[in-house]
Structure 1
Amino acid sequence: MPNRKQLKLQVSLPPLLFSSVLCVGITYPAIAADNNNNNSNKKPNPNQFPPNPLEIRVRDPLIPRSGRDKRPLTQAELATLATALDRLNAEAAAKLQANDEKGALETWYRELRLRRYLGLLPEVQALSRVGGIAWERNLSEDVQYITKRLQTIQQTQLKPPVELDLLRSLAAAFEQVRAPDWSVKVYEQILAAMRQQGNKVQEEALLLKIGELSLSWFDYAKAISAYQELVNFAQQAGDRTKQVNYLKVLAYLYGKDNQIEKSIKIKQELIEFYRNQQDFVQIPAIQLEIGSAYEAVGRLEQATQNYQEAYAFAWSIQQYAAAGDALRKLVALQRSQKQINAALETYQVLVQADYLAYNFYGMMNTYDEVGQLYLEYKNFAQALSAFQKGLELAQQLKHRESYFARQIQRVTEQANR
């Protein structure tokens, strides 16, 4: 790499899942005969959606009572059942390890159905575990079955007061099956409980979780609401580091939600914060972001002003690479507006910024752009000079040498016509 002194210039589930879900000795409900009594000759409808394996109602020998016996299981029976279900989980995991995916799912569905006898919390925890496996293996229908059961629990069975452990497990389960909107609903229930308790630490953590999940499924409005509260939390606590981090995310969210003015206002607050902290290195990048935001909505005068301010400030603190970034944004805008003389002046400053930043590849590319611009306007002498400078750099960098040689030949041929 040369230094400055060296330079000379500047689906449906498979049938097996339902045919052998339970162990030997389990009976299936009788199939009612149709009006023509010809079920034996009737072919299955390939378009019929298969039954939800979590809702199959069959007798299981692990339940020590008949279907007509409605008594609850005793504590001893529940303990025996829990041990048996842990064995089913291990058996399913072993089948999956042996690449018997269908067999593993059959066993897991049996376990999940029976987990209901142990209560909602053990069931939700098991649904979360199996749901995560189904997602990882891209088993979309199984994910849907498990998600539906979790939704049923959340909608119909969670009546206040609800145990927080159950809510947390349910929220985590929805995350496992990648249902962030449902997870947010549960986290909001937990948030309400934490606010009643006055638990500020948990309240902030839950707001952060809600904000992150809402952002993950593009609900910018809900994410904005969460981060606005987080900014207030940090401000009240006097935690400037957290406040700045939350403000950065909030500015990003406003931009994604097309609230450009609010996004810019927050970025201006950040600039003022960094000025007060004398952390000047952070400022040019934010000024550049403001310029880009203005350019995106067609406010080109403000964009130009912010690019110029970013360049000037970066230069003043000897951040020449940042100055070069601002100048590149500025010259691209000038060229798009056919401000050719202004663009050529900016290119001259850009070459100096790249030189001071040791960005020799940037210098080489800048000479290429200058040469192309002069060539476009038939200024062959200036185009040739720019390409020759680019070639000198290319030779020292051993990069794009043949390209610049071709450009020089091209200019020479056009100039001699």
Structure 2
Amino acid sequence: MKPLTFLLTLLLILSLGTSGQAQESPEEDREERENPLEFTEPDPLLRPAIEQRPLSTLEKRRLEENLDDLALQAAQEWEKDNPEEAFDIWYRELRLRRYLGPVAEVNALGRVGKVAWESERQADLTVIRNRLEAIQTEAEEEETLEKPLYWALGKAYEKIRLYPNALAMYELILADVRQTRNINQLESTLKTIAGLHLGWFKYADAASVYEELLLIARSQYNDAAIMDYLEQLAYIYDQMVEPEKAIQTRQQLLERYQKKALIAQIPPLKIAIAENYETIGEVETANLTYQEAFSLAWENQQFGYASTALKQLAALYYEYNQPDYALEIYQEQLKAAQYAYDFYTMMETYEKMGDIYVELEDYQRALIAYQEGLTLAERLDYAQYEFQEKIDLVSRFL
């Protein structure tokens, strides 16, 4: 091929490749345009020479009313599924909110930022986050980061899930709240901080906050709050893989449930306690606790929990090389699952029983278990092929 011909061909290929690329979405294209919060064109809602002479109180009130109307228009466009039109209006509103002061602007940024976060509009979220950080930085440099502003910043950062920034502001808020000695406000603030920690998987930090909340609830003799915080702490200790603390916490919770006669809450709690004991190798205690959970669940016709307790108990026996006991318990679990109309669990149980029978080289019973499982799989339209494969394999030994 001659050099000129090759060059023309190459240019043609490149042009075709470029034209075949997908066009950027309007939201993606926004990143390439000028920052929509930095437009400098005059706005008809502002009088001339606004920079030279600040707005009067009356002018601010009128502007606020107009901006509330803009926010409503944007929300209506959003509801009509016109996101670009909505954000164009919201950005105009946000630009003008600056003239009402940083607190008003931050509140509006948080409101719009929440929409951007919930709808995964990353470019808009970046614009809003950058503006919030710029307001904070400017206030820190000018030493004007005072209570109304950092309270507003904390809530705005929380709405856009910006954990480190939100937490820094809420630490300032918490210091304010502690001085007021307002218990309700203190609890509310601590819950928000705990939620921020959990949202970013900072379990140790969240545990410290919930431990303080638990102390407050106990000082107020608030049983509902005590149980709520104990539940949260038990969950957190599980995530931190601290089963001893989880057991201690759940035992306290169990005492509360028993005292309040919350019988329906006890079986799942005992199952969780048994799992914790299993984790630390206290097999006998785990065994006994699973049995207690099953008995109470069965007595109260909580067949789903009864089935779960037996499932865990059977798995425990199997893990410690007692397959015969495991099979006996699986047989009982089938009854509980049947009472609960839990056909998926029944299917799983037949499969596990079949697998154990295969290990014991009892192929006839394995075949029967797999066939029962296949019947349920066909009913559920799930995993038929896997059961058929196991049936075909076992049939070769008969």
8 Å contact kept, 2:357–2:365: yes
8 Å contact kept, 1:12–1:50: no
Shift, 1:105, TM fit = 3.9
Shift, 1:73, TM fit = 3.0
Give the AA of the match of 1:306.
Answer: A
8 Å contact kept, 2:250–2:269: yes
After superposition, the Cα gap between the structure-2 partners of 1:74 and 1:274, relative to the gap in structure 1 and judged at 3 Å, is: closer
Q: Choose 224-233 or 212-221, whichever is displaced more.
A: 212-221
Alignment of 1:333-344 (within 5 A): 333-344=316-327
Q: Choose 253-262 or 169-178, whichever is displaced more.
A: 169-178
For the residues of structure 1 that align with 2:237 and 2:231, how far apart are their CA atoms? 10
Q: TM-score, normalised by structure 1?
A: 0.70
For the residues of structure 1 that align with 2:238 and 2:203, how far apart are their CA atoms? 10
Are 2:309 and 1:326 equivalent residues in the alignment?
yes
For the residues of structure 1 that align with 2:221 and 2:95, how far apart are their CA atoms? 50
Aligned to 1:122: 104
Are 2:207 and 1:224 equivalent residues in the alignment?
yes
After superposition, the Cα gap between the structure-2 partners of 1:360 and 1:66, relative to the gap in structure 1 and judged at 3 Å, is: closer
For the residues of structure 2 that align with 1:414 and 1:360, how far apart are their CA atoms? 31
Are 2:295 and 1:315 equivalent residues in the alignment?
yes
Q: Deviations over 1:333-356 (max 9, x none)?
A: 33344432332343355456567x
For the residues of structure 1 that align with 2:249 and 2:394, how far apart are their CA atoms? 49
Answer with 1 or 2: which has the greater Rg.
1
Higher relative contact order (CA 8 A, sep 6+): 1
After superposition, the Cα gap between the structure-2 partners of 1:289 and 1:96, relative to the gap in structure 1 and judged at 3 Å, is: closer
Alignment of 1:238-277 (within 5 A): 238-277=221-260
After superposition, the Cα gap between the structure-2 partners of 1:89 and 1:368, relative to the gap in structure 1 and judged at 3 Å, is: closer
For the residues of structure 1 that align with 2:60 and 2:151, how far apart are their CA atoms? 24
Q: Secondary structure of the residue that 2:133 maps to in structure 1?
A: helix
Would you tell me which structure has more helix in proportion to its own residues?
A: 2
Match of 1:305 among 285, 294, 297: 285
Aligned to 1:177: 160
Aligned to 1:53: 36
Identity %: 34
- Any unmatched runs of 5+ in structure 1? 1-10, 18-47
For the residues of structure 2 that align with 1:325 and 1:313, how far apart are their CA atoms? 9
Q: Secondary structure of the residue that 1:196 maps to in structure 2?
A: helix
For the residues of structure 1 that align with 2:158 and 2:380, how far apart are their CA atoms? 49
After superposition, the Cα gap between the structure-2 partners of 1:79 and 1:408, relative to the gap in structure 1 and judged at 3 Å, is: closer
Shift, 1:285, TM fit = 1.8
For the residues of structure 2 that align with 1:281 and 1:386, how far apart are their CA atoms? 33
Shift, 1:243, TM fit = 0.2
Alignment of 1:310-389 (within 5 A): 310-315=290-295, 318-319=299-300, 321=303, 322-350=305-333, 357=339, 361=343, 366=349, 369-380=352-363, 382-383=365-366
For the residues of structure 2 that align with 1:343 and 1:59, how far apart are their CA atoms? 78
After superposition, the Cα gap between the structure-2 partners of 1:95 and 1:106, relative to the gap in structure 1 and judged at 3 Å, is: same
8 Å contact kept, 2:290–2:312: no
For the residues of structure 2 that align with 1:204 and 1:167, how far apart are their CA atoms? 19
Shift, 1:369, TM fit = 3.8
Q: Secondary structure of the residue that 1:414 maps to in structure 2?
A: coil
Q: Deviations over 1:103-136 (max 9, x none)?
A: 5544433432232121122212322233234334
8 Å contact kept, 2:26–2:84: no
Q: TM-score, normalised by structure 2?
A: 0.73
After superposition, the Cα gap between the structure-2 partners of 1:125 and 1:353, relative to the gap in structure 1 and judged at 3 Å, is: closer
Give the AA of the match of 2:128.
Answer: I
| Alignment: residue pair count | 365
Are 2:185 and 1:202 equivalent residues in the alignment?
yes
After superposition, the Cα gap between the structure-2 partners of 1:126 and 1:314, relative to the gap in structure 1 and judged at 3 Å, is: same
